[in-house]
């Protein structure tokens, strides 16, 4: 760090070990939040305390600046609130996000989303419900055979231990007769709901037709909860109760609950290609975290804003002022913001590029930064060693190319190590999930989000239409 510490770019770098006055203020603010900090995290995804508030981001935001008395938090009703008396013999429309990757031979290459949907479906089966399962796959324009859900049936059946039936449509007489013959504890998978353009248009008539198949609604499709579509939002107007599934609950518990009321010190790691796609997340996390580590392509906009040469690195010229203001904001809030002090540069954007490590102030013309360097990894690791909660969104470099994967892999390994020591580690979706899977440490993290776009919106503090539409459960006065 010494070689660049004197540069204006690093005027905000400081020790991460000492608590700052503003992080104390952040803690005080967090104490107003209604989520008990003693709530154990790292629970199994199968059964959650359904009485625990499923907080909606907007509600959490609304707590800021309010007094502690008379504040009411609305929780979303959970599938766990429904007993066998509510479920036995009932037709339940379950919206899951089974949008899994398939290869050219229609083989599932990653079944994470299917496995994540199982606890809710199993709970319904075990309580005698008739499960009508709906999802989209891809972004088809009309009926498209390669986006049929047929390849999902064997894996679903295997994981559930029953023979899952599949309909060739998601509405209409054929589907109605299959629903009518569905036994208690049976599962019928409807065909890709996006084969109808009315789905993404959130067409009320289409939503009504979907809803007419069932008696009640469970939304467990976290990855699609940021979409106001017929099967995620529209159906709630026609089906009561409309409740959250276990996966949706777990995602909200971590991405809203653990982030708003973290065990401290709380570090956020934000990377990825562009600062423009992460502005909302950075601004939102600056309100909550004690330490902010930045990596990925976005750092060069920060470097340039501080007067450093960046060669041919990725820079967003129209975000230079914004970068400066984010640095100032971090300083004003007492957040320890760390930018990498060295980077791996390449002479072209290619796996076989020539590469070398240079200090952040030593990027020459014709070279581009594609990863954080070894000194930065060391500094980031030391900062992370002080933490109790870490959230990570976005890779540190072009991890898809081996030469530029070390920074991202080091962060993945560090988070795995911390997780094993009891630190809450949350991977916020997108490419960071691919990175921890590549390193083989996904299994030890406290929570890995199943939604890229949805987790980003949630971390930005946005309201997810698929969540807000669900029934409210209990009012918690804090
Ligand atoms: N220094 C860099 N220059 C160019 N691209 C980068 C750099 N570092 C990371 N990236 C790219 O950023 C992409 C991920 O960015 P983004 O979509 O914002 O993250 P996420 O999917 O985690 O939200 C990856 O494909 C990665 O190769
Ligand atoms: O894969 C998904 O989102 P993600 O790639 O942001 O994680 C979801 O299934 C949502 O899909 P969509 O972005 O086509 O609405």
pLDDT digits (tens, 9 = 90+) for 100-114: 999 999 999 999 999
pLDDT digits (tens, 9 = 90+) for 78-90: 999 999 999 999 9
Q: Report the alpha-carbon distance of residue 185 to residue 284 in Å, rounded.
A: 43
Q: Please state, in angstroms and rounded to a whole number, the distance separating the CA atoms of residues 349 and 260.
A: 38
CB-defined site of ligand 1, < 6 Å: 272-273, 277, 296-297, 314, 369-370, 393-395, 397-398, 400, 430-432, 452
9 has a pLDDT exceeding 90: no
pLDDT one-digit tens code per residue, 385-418: 999 999 999 999 999 999 999 999 999 999 999 9
Query: Ligand 1, residues 223, 255, 273, 432: which to mutate, most atoms within 8 A of Cβ?
Result: 273
Give the pLDDT score at 75: 83
pLDDT at 209: 98
For residues 234-253, give the mean pLDDT: 97
Token code pair at residue 378: 């060391």
More confident residue, 106 or 40: 106
Q: Is 342 annotated as a binding residue?
A: no
Q: Is 336 annotated as a binding residue?
A: no
What's residue 43's pLDDT?
25
Residue 113: φ, ψ to 5°:
-65, -30
Query: Residue 128: which of 187, 82, 185 has the closest Cα?
Result: 185
Task: Extract the tokens encoding 193.
Answer: 């709901």
Condensed to tens digits (0 to 9), the pLDDT of residues 48-91 reads: 222 233 333 333 322 222 222 333 335 899 999 999 999 999 99
- What number does the ligand 2 atom closest to the CA of 450 have? 7
In percent, the amount of the chain with pLDDT more than 70 equals 83
Is residue 23 within 8 Å of 10, Cβ to Cβ? no
H-helix segments, 11-72: 21-30, 57-63
pTM over 0.90: no
- Cα(398) to centroid(ligand 2), Å: 22
Is 104 labeled as ligand-binding? no
Mutate which of 344, 394, 438 for ligand 1 pocket (most atoms within 8 A of beta carbon): 394
CB 147 within 8 A of CB 194: yes
- The tokens describing 435, both together, are 């990175």
Give me the mean pLDDT over the 22-40 stretch.
Answer: 26
Task: List CB contacts of 49: < 8 A, sequence separation 6 or more.
Answer: 80
Which ligand sits nearest to residue 227's alpha carbon? 2
User: What is the reported pLDDT for 197?
Assistant: 98
Q: Residue 28: is its pLDDT beyond 70?
A: no
Which pLDDT value is given to residue 51?
26
Q: What is the CA(44)–ligand 2 centre distance, in A?
A: 24
Supply the pLDDT for residue 46.
25
Distance 370 CA to ligand 1 centre (A): 9
Known binder of ligand: residue 66? no
Residue 26's pLDDT band, with cuts at 50, 70 and 90, is: very low
At residue 473 the predicted structure's pLDDT band, cuts being 50, 70 and 90, is: confident
CB half-sphere exposure, 149, CA atoms < 13 A? 28
Pick the atom of ligand 1 nearest to 400's CA.
27
Per-residue pLDDT, 429: 80
Residue 72, judged by CB atoms within 10 A of its CB (0-12, 13-18, 19+), counts as exposed
Active site residues: 113, 274, 430, 453
- Residue 29, pLDDT above cutoff 60: no
Check if 224 has its Cβ closer than 6 Å to any atom of ligand 2.
Answer: yes
pLDDT at 254 over 90: yes
| Nearest Cα residue to atom 12 of ligand 2 | 224
Average pLDDT over residues 346-358: 98
> pLDDT confidence of 474, banded at 50, 70, 90?
low
pLDDT at 68: 27
User: Please, what is the average pLDDT of the chain?
Assistant: 86
User: Relative to the CA of 453, which ligand 2 atom is closest?
Assistant: 6
Across 100-185, where does the E strand assignment appear? 130-134, 165-166
User: β-strand 216-219 against 91-95: which pairing, if any?
Assistant: parallel
CA 221 to ligand 1 center in whole angstroms? 25
Closest atom of ligand 1 to CA, residue 277: 18
Rg of the chain's alpha carbons, rounded to an integer? Answer: 24
When pLDDT is cut at 50, 70 and 90, the band that residue 7 belongs to is very low
Which candidate, 246, 295, 243, places its Cα nearest to that of 271?
A: 295
Is the per-residue pLDDT at 4 higher than 60?
no
Predicted pLDDT at 475: 52
Q: Which helix (H) or strand (E) segment is 189 a member of?
A: strand 187-189
Q: Ligand 1 centroid vs 271 CA: distance in angstroms?
A: 7
Q: What is the ipTM of this complex?
A: 0.96
Residue 35: what pLDDT?
25
Q: Edge-to-edge strands of the sheet including 130-134?
A: 165-166, 187-189, 130-134, 91-95, 216-219, 242-244
pLDDT at 304 over 50: yes
Set out the domains of the chain in order of their start, with CATH numbers. 2-24+254-459 (3.40.50.1260), 79-244 (3.40.50.1260)
| 115-120 mean pLDDT | 97
Q: Tokens 């990498």 map to which residue?
A: 340
């Amino acid at each position: 760090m010494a070689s660049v510490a004197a540069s204006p770019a690093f005027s905000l770098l400081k020790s991460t070990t000492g608590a700052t006055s503003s992080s104390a203020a952040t803690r005080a603010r967090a104490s107003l939040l209604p989520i008990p900090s003693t709530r154990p995290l790292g629970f199994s995804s199968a059964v959650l305390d359904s009485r625990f508030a499923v907080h909606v981001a907007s509600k959490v935001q609304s707590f800021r600046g309010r007094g502690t008395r008379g504040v009411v938090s609305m929780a979303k009703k959970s599938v766990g609130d429904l007993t066998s008396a509510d479920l036995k013999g009932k037709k339940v429309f379950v919206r899951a996000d089974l949008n899994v990757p398939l290869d050219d031979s229609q083989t599932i290459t990653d079944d994470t989303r299917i496995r994540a949907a199982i606890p809710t479906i199993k709970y319904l089966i075990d309580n005698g419900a008739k499960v009508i399962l709906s999802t989209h796959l891809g972004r088809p324009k009309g009926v498209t055979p390669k986006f049929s859900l047929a390849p999902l049936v064997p894996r679903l059946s295997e994981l559930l231990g029953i023979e899952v039936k599949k309909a060739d449509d998601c509405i209409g007489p054929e589907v109605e007769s299959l629903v009518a013959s569905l036994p208690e504890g049976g599962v019928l998978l409807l065909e890709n709901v996006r084969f109808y353009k009315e789905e993404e248009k959130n067409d009320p008539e289409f939503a009504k037709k979907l809803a007419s198949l069932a008696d009640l609604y469970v939304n467990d499709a976290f990855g699609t909860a940021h979409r106001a579509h017929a099967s995620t939002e529209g159906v709630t107007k026609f089906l009561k109760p409309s409740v959250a599934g276990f996966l949706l609950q777990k995602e909200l518990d971590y991405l809203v609950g653990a982030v708003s009321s973290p065990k401290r010190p709380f570090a956020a790691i934000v990377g990825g290609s562009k600062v423009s796609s992460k502005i909302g997340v950075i601004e939102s996390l600056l309100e909550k975290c004690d330490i902010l580590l930045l990596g990925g392509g976005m750092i060069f906009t920060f470097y340039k804003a501080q007067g450093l040469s960046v060669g041919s690195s990725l820079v967003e010229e129209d975000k230079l002022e914004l970068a400066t203001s984010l640095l100032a904001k971090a300083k004003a809030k007492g957040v320890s913001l760390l930018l990498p002090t060295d980077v791996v540069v390449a002479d072209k954007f290619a796996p076989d590029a020539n590469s070398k490590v240079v200090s952040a102030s030593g990027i020459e013309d014709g070279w581009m930064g594609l990863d954080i360097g070894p000194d930065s990894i060391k500094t980031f690791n030391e900062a992370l060693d002080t933490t109790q909660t870490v959230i990570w969104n976005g890779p540190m470099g072009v991890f898809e190319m081996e030469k530029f994967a070390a920074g991202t892999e080091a962060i993945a390994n560090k988070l795995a190590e911390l997780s094993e020591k009891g630190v809450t580690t949350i991977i916020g979706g997108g490419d960071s999930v691919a990175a921890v899977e590549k390193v083989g440490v996904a299994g030890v993290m406290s929570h890995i989000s199943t939604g890229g776009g949805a987790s980003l919106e949630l971390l930005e503090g946005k309201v997810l239409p698929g969540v807000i539409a669900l029934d409210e459960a209990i009012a918690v006065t804090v």
